[in-house]
Homo-oligomer: A and B are copies of this chain.
């Protein structure tokens, strides 16, 4: 139960708009759109009608790109926009009393950072980037409008929120109930599945830009121990990790070792079968 002791200075994200960009988000295929990963993921729940997809896309007021290690949403504030990850990795986190950072969850493309603010008057945790990242912004009013006028989209957003709750519960189980090595195995299985669910990979490798400290802060163990545990998974031939690329060499083995049962992710059959 250690984690970073060094207090990261909280570089505050500059006001949205100041640092806008398109294209920074990477080369987008013709016809592809910023929130495709989200729409893809929602497909696990229901097929959204064209019109709904369109309304969703048109709700985006702007896109912002921010550097690595910047706070996008601060604790106790109430952002004016709901953020959706387009590109890059971010995380939810809180600081502990002694300055260590507890990572509550990772956010990858397609994840909604803060529906909470549609109803809650302050964020109970912060969100910051782990890599350079870009976000799509939807104003709070628009979100409320959706809730009140488009039941399909409303359900879709509520669904995403319930799934996130489920994932949070599993993280809880993982960290309270499993030893460090299984904990890491489970976490990696989940990340692989989430990439699949958002249409970000179809193979057994994923882009893995996190440093060991980022993993340590999420699992509640020290970097040193994270390192040793990671080595173990590698030497057991379960994973390989090279050049920011994570490959799961033995999916069944890793799943079994980490007691990973994807049902808590509430994915469709299609996603589950590759």
Q: Which residues of A contact B (CB under 8 A)?
A: 1, 3, 45, 76, 92, 94, 96-97, 100, 102, 104, 115-116, 119-122, 124-125, 147-148, 151, 154-155, 158-159, 161-166, 168-173, 175-179, 219-220, 259, 263-264, 266
Task: List residues of chain B with CB within 8 A of the CB of A159.
Answer: 119-120
A263-B119 in contact (CB<8A): no
Known: A102-B176, A147-B151, A169-B168. A162 touches B96 (CB 8 A): no
A173 with B96, Cβ < 8 A, contacts A1-B179, A147-B151, A164-B165 known = yes
Q: Chain B: which residue is nearest A46 at the CB level?
A: B119
Contacts of A263 in B (CB 8 A): 76, 122, 124
Measured between beta carbons, the chain B residues less than 8 angstroms from A177 are 1, 3, 96, 100, 102, 220
Q: Is the CB of A176 within 8 A of B124?
A: no
Query: Closest B-chain residue to A97, C-beta based?
Result: B259
Residues from chain B with Cβ under 8 Å of A116 in the complex: 162, 165-166
Contact A155 B119 (CB under 8 A): yes
A158-B119, A165-B164, A263-B76 known; A178+B124 contact, CB < 8 A: no
Q: List 22 A-B residue pairs with CB atoms under 8 Å apart, sorted by A's residue number.
A: A1-B177, A1-B178, A100-B177, A104-B169, A104-B173, A119-B158, A119-B159, A120-B159, A120-B166, A120-B266, A122-B266, A124-B169, A124-B263, A124-B264, A124-B266, A147-B151, A161-B165, A168-B169, A168-B172, A172-B172, A175-B175, A176-B220
Output the least CB separation between A33 and chain B (Å): 25
- Whether B125 pairs with A169 at a CB distance below 8 angstroms is yes
Point out the residues of chain B lying under 8 angstroms from A148, CB to CB.
151
Please, how many angstroms separate the alpha-carbon atoms of A124 and B161 in the complex?
Answer: 14
Residues of the B chain whose Cβ atoms lie less than 8 Å from the Cβ of A266: 120-122, 124
**Which residues in B have their C-beta under 8 angstroms from that of A155?**
119, 147
Q: Which one of A115, A158, A179, A266 has the highest number of Cβ atoms from chain B below 10 Å of its Cβ?
A: A158
